[in-house]
Amino acid sequence: MRQIPYFHAQACNNALANHRLLAACGQLTSDELAAKRTSFFPSIIHSLNHILTVDWFYVSALEGACIGYSAFEPEIPHPDIVSLEREQRAIDRRLIAVCDGRSEAFLVETADLIRDGWIQTEQIGRILLHLFQHQTHHRGQVHAMLSGTSVAPPQLDEFFLGHEREQALRKEDFAELGFDEDEIWR
């Protein structure tokens, strides 16, 4: 069966975006992270925790053992950026592993999402698309909130263009993440 590099690349891009966003947010004080701001969630730290807990929910389902709504309790499990970054990096690695070396057949398999009082069965390809869209949406909100701080929002809107000049722009981030440019599209 043919392997699908697209979802693996999306998972790596997701990790890169989280890495850059958390590095920028790591420059803020605890008070700045928790400060009330205008967005779907009322603070940067709340939004970042939402990204993390949604990853826990969906990745656990993709791994075959959905943890259900316990993923969202407490609502802000990591009020400090250091532990949040550690947990986000770990779940990003799990998502990459879910997507690594998969075939087209994997995308039409199903996974169960344990909802409040019911089980939703969805195709894995749809869950992945939903998850990537969701995370992009909320990272964009944090990006906008960062614009109201002294820390410049990071570059998040690239997607692994192949030219060497583009590769140079992410070389340091890739080294920090342990990514290999050639491995992304294998």
Q: Which domains does the chain have, with CATH numbers?
A: 5-184 (1.20.120.450)
φ, ψ for residue 114 (rounded to 5)? -85, 110
Cα–Cα dist 37/44, whole Å: 8
Q: What tens-digit pLDDT sequence spans the chain (186 residues)?
A: 446 788 999 999 999 999 999 999 999 999 999 999 999 999 999 999 999 999 999 999 999 999 999 999 999 999 999 999 999 999 999 999 999 988 889 999 999 999 999 999 999 999 999 999 999 999 999 999 999 999 999 999 887 888 889 889 999 999 999 999 888 876
Cα–Cα dist 14/131, whole Å: 10
φ, ψ for residue 184 (rounded to 5)? -60, -45
Which tokens belong to 22?
């958390």
- Whether cis (ω within 30° of 0) applies to the bond prior to 74 is yes
Residue at token pair 């440019």: 181
Element counts in the chain: helices (H) and strands (E): 8, 2
- Note the pTM of the prediction, 2 decimals: 0.94
Cα–Cα dist 24/39, whole Å: 18
Residue 166 near residue 158, CB atoms below 8 Å: yes
